[in-house]
Amino acid sequence: MIGYVTLGTNNLARAVAFYDELFATIGAGRFLETEQFVAWSRDPEQPGIAVTKPFDGQPASVGNGVMVAVQLNSTDEVDAFYQKALELGASCEGPAGPRAEMEGFYAGYFRDLDGNKLNGFYFDMPTA
């Protein structure tokens, strides 16, 4: 259902460098690119994440309660993704680990260089 999600940035070059390195850790690459917008995905037929300078020319800002969740294939992949984000200058919003509120849910939360909130997660659905 979702084609892509956009995150606003006030420094496109810096944001693109951050996401090029971060998304490389999970096998995602650029699939759309203009002077104002760059999007990444593991496959152009799957949903993607993009950074963009706001179309209206106003400064980008962070939405309260807005978060992009990146589904990963294992807890090890979550750990590596989260650690790479921090190495690239992201700030911690909750270290990678199991979440007590939902059995089988493992996630690491961070804010990118523009303050946008993301998480990498793996959900090992409990069997009945």
Domain-wise residue ranges, the chain: 4-53+66-123
Please state, rounded to an integer, the average pLDDT across all residues of the chain.
93
Which amino acid belongs to residue 99?
R
On whether the 4-53+66-123 domain is CATH 3.10.180.10, my answer is yes
Each residue of 25-43: pLDDT tens digit?
A: 999 999 999 999 999 999 9
Sign of the CA dihedral 52, 22, 83, 73? Answer: positive
Each residue of 70-108: pLDDT tens digit?
A: 999 999 999 999 999 999 999 999 999 999 888 899 999
Global pTM reads 0.86
DSSP 72-103: -SSHHHHHHHHHHHHHTT-EEEEEEEE-TTST
